[in-house]
Structure 1
Amino acid sequence: MTVLGLGRAAPPEARADANTEFRLLGPVEVHDVRTGTGIAPPGSKQRALLSAFVVHAGELLSVDRLTEELWGDAPPANSANALQAHVARLRRLLPGPESPGDPAHEWISTLPTGYLLSLGRASTDVDTFHRLSAQGRAAAATDPGYATDLLRRALGLWRGPALQDSRYGPICTAEADRLEENRLSALETLYDASLRCAQHGEITGELEKLTADHPLRERFYDLLMVALYRSGRQAEALGVYERARRRLVDALGIEPGPALRGRMEAILNHAPDLTAPSPAPAGSGPMVLDDALELGGEIARLQRRIEDLNREQEALIRRFDALVARLPQTT
C-alpha cells in the first residue's frame, strides 16, 4: 500500500481523480474542484479527443473511430502515429499525483485496437446536469418550488454551447445535439414548474427570449401564453399564438400543433384550468418527494444505459458490415 510521508495511507479523497471534474457544458476543460481552476486543451483536436473520451468514458474507442473523429474523411497518411501523439499530449495534460507518494491514476489506457478513458473518482458536469434535471422533473408535480431550484441549478452548469469548439466529428456532434435537446427539455420543465408556483409574472421576459431564440419550438409559446394570460394580458397571449403560427407557416409550411391550438381556444374561452394555482406550502409531501427523486435518478441512469447500448449496437453493426464487405463475392 502506498503511504504518505506521515505513514498514513492516502485517503480516497486525496487522489487526483477525486478532485477532477471534466466539463463539457461549454468550453471543454479539466477542472480542479479544490482550487477552482481549469485547464483547457490547447488545440481543437485535443479538445475533440478529450470530449470523445469523456463521452465514452469506460468504453474502448477504436483507432479508426478516433481517426474519423479528428480528421473525418481526410486523415493524414500517418494517422495512427498522429493519433498516438495527440493521446500522449493529452495524457500529459491530465492531473498527476497531487504530492509524492500519492497513488497515480491511469487516465487513458492503450489497448490493442484503441484507447479507453477511465474516470475513476472524477466527475463530469454532464452527469451532474442529468442528475439534477432528473430530480427536478420528479419533484415538479409534488413540490414545484423545489423543482425550480433543482432545475435552475442544473441549467446553471451550462457555460455556453455544449462541447464548444469541439464539434468536428460524429461523436462530439451527436453528443452536443443530444445535450442541447436535454437543455431545452429542462427549460420547458423549469417554466412549467414556475407556473405551478404562480410565478407567471417573473418568467414572461425569459420566455419571450426563448421564443425568439427557438422560434420553431411550440412548447415555449405555450408556456408564454399561459404566463401572459395569468398576468391579465389576454390580448398579448393571443398575439403570441399568431406570432408562432406565422413563424411555423413561413419556416415549415405547417400550422401549430393541437396543443398550441388548444391553448389558444382555452384562452379565448377563459378556461378555468388556466387560473394560477395557489402556492403549495413549503415542504409538502416529503416522503413522496424522496421516493420521486430516487425514481428520477434511476430513470436518468437507465436512459444513459440505453444510450450506451445504442452506441455499442452501432459499433457492432459497423464491424459486421465491414466483415461482410470483405467476404468473397459469389455468383
Structure 2
Amino acid sequence: MEFRILGSVQVYDERADLRIVPTGAKQRALLGALVVKADQVVPADRLVDELWGEHPPANAANALQAHVARLRRLLPLPAPGSGEAHHEWLVTRPLGYVLRLDRTDTDARRFLRLAAEGRTLAAAEPGRASEVLRTALALWRGPALEGCGRGTICSAEASLLEESRLAALETLYDACLRAGRTGGVAGELEELTTAHPLRERFYELLMAAMYQGGRQAEALGVYDRARRRLLHDLGVEPGPALRGRMEAILHQQDPGAVLAPADRAAPAAPGRLEEEVGVLRAEVVRLRRQLERLALEHQDLLGRVERLTAREAASG
C-alpha cells in the first residue's frame, strides 16, 4: 500500500495492482489533507476550512462526517483469505480525525528520503547521486496534490514539495556536471530557465553546462539574458553566485573549477529544526510566487500602457 500525493491524490494497492482515486473534489481534498498530516490528529474545524473555505455548509460537522464515511469505504480492506488483520485507516478522535499509516508509506516521504540521499552523495559520488535523484524525481506524476483545491493544508504542502523538487533538480544537474554526464543537460536546463525565469541557480547551471561543452559565448549570453530578466521583472542585479559563475567563465577558468562547492544547500535537519526549516521554505516559496505574480502584473500594465499610448497616437 502507498498513499500518493506527487500528482493527483490516489492510493496504490500493490497486491491487486489497483489505483484508488477519489472522484470528487472534496474527497480529494480530504484525503490529501489527511495524507499530509498522516499519523496526526487533524481538527475537524481545520478539515472544514480545507474543504469549504469561507463558505461552509449550514451543518458543516455532519457534512464532514459524511465525507469521512465515504472515504472510509473507499480505502481498501485485507484481501479475503489473506490472513491479514483489518487495519482501520481513518480513525475518529475527540477533536478530529487521523489517518494511521502504520507501516504504509507515501510517495512524498520516499521522494524526500531519496532526495536527501542524493544530496549526501553529491560531493563524493556525483554519478551515484544523479541516479538516486532521477529515481526520486521519477516519482512525480504531476503537480503535488493536484486537484485538491486551495485549502491551507494542501496548498502549503504543495508549495513545500514543489520547492523540494526544484532543489532536487538543482542538485541533480550539478551532480551530472561533476560526473561528466552532460548529454542533454543543457537542453533540460534551458527548459527550466524558461519555466522558472527568476530562479538564478538554473541559469548558473546552464552556463556551466554550456561552458563545459565549449560554448563560452553562449554561456555568457545566458548571463546577459538572466540579468535582463531580473532587472526587468524585479529591478535587481544577479546575485553573487551567478556573477561569480560569469566571471569564472569570462576568465576561462578550468571547466571543473567553474562549478561551485557541491550541494550548497544544507541537508534537512531532524526534529524541531526540520519543522523550522519547513516554515522558512514555505515563506520563501510564498515570496517567490508573489514576486512572479507582481512581475506578470507589471508586464500586463506595461502592455496596457503601450496599447493606450498607441491608440491615443492613432486618434491624433
TM-score normalised to the size of structure 2? 0.82
Compute the displacement of 1:145 (Å).
0.6
| Equivalent in the alignment of 2:312 | none
Q: How does 1:137-286 map to 2 (within 5 A)?
A: 137-272=119-254, 274=256
Compute the displacement of 1:307 (Å).
2.5
* 1:180–1:232 Cα change, 3 Å: same
| Equivalent in the alignment of 1:307 | 275
Compute the displacement of 1:250 (Å).
1.4
| Equivalent in the alignment of 1:134 | 116
Does the aligned pair in 2 maintain the 1:130–1:300 contact within 8 Å?
no
Counterpart of 2:221 in 1: which secondary structure?
helix
Structure 2 residue identity aligned to 1:50: L
Counterpart of 2:270 in 1: which secondary structure?
helix
Does the aligned pair in 2 maintain the 1:167–1:176 contact within 8 Å?
no
* 1:306–1:300 Cα change, 3 Å: closer
Structure 2 residue identity aligned to 1:60: V
Distance in 2 (alpha carbons) for counterparts of 1:69 and 1:118? 19
Question: Gaps spanning 5+ residues in structure 1: where?
Answer: 1-19, 278-295, 312-331
Does the aligned pair in 2 maintain the 1:61–1:115 contact within 8 Å?
yes
Distance in 1 (alpha carbons) for counterparts of 2:110 and 2:271? 14
Counterpart of 1:30 in 2: which secondary structure?
strand
| Equivalent in the alignment of 2:50 | 69
* 1:140–1:231 Cα change, 3 Å: same
Structure 1 residue identity aligned to 2:41: L
| Equivalent in the alignment of 2:60 | 79
| Equivalent in the alignment of 2:23 | 42
Structure 2 residue identity aligned to 1:95: P
Does the aligned pair in 2 maintain the 1:131–1:300 contact within 8 Å?
no
Deviates more, 1:242-251 or 1:268-277: 268-277
| Equivalent in the alignment of 2:104 | 122
Q: Which runs of at least 4 in structure 1 moved beyond 6 Å after TM superposition?
A: 308-311
* 1:65-97, Cα deviation, whole Å (9 max, x unpaired): 110000111111100000000000000000112
Distance in 2 (alpha carbons) for counterparts of 1:196 and 1:261? 20
TM-score normalised to the size of structure 1? 0.78
Are 1:112 and 2:94 an aligned pair?
Answer: yes
Compute the displacement of 1:124 (Å).
0.4
Q: Identify which of 5, 14, 32 aligns with 1:33.
A: 14
Structure 1 residue identity aligned to 2:188: E
Counterpart of 1:260 in 2: which secondary structure?
helix
Distance in 2 (alpha carbons) for counterparts of 1:91 and 1:163? 19
* 1:160-204, Cα deviation, whole Å (9 max, x unpaired): 000001132000000000000000000000000001011234311
Distance in 1 (alpha carbons) for counterparts of 2:78 and 2:276? 30
* 1:276-319, Cα deviation, whole Å (9 max, x unpaired): 89xxxxxxxxxxxxxxxxxx9xx6571688329989xxxxxxxx
Distance in 2 (alpha carbons) for counterparts of 1:219 and 1:34? 42
How many residues were matched structurally?
Answer: 272
**Structure 1 vs Structure 2 CA RMSD:** 2.1
Distance in 2 (alpha carbons) for counterparts of 1:225 and 1:257? 15
Distance in 2 (alpha carbons) for counterparts of 1:82 and 1:304? 35
| Equivalent in the alignment of 2:308 | none
Does the aligned pair in 2 maintain the 1:201–1:231 contact within 8 Å?
no
Deviates more, 1:55-64 or 1:172-181: 55-64
| Equivalent in the alignment of 1:59 | 40
Compute the displacement of 1:239 (Å).
0.6
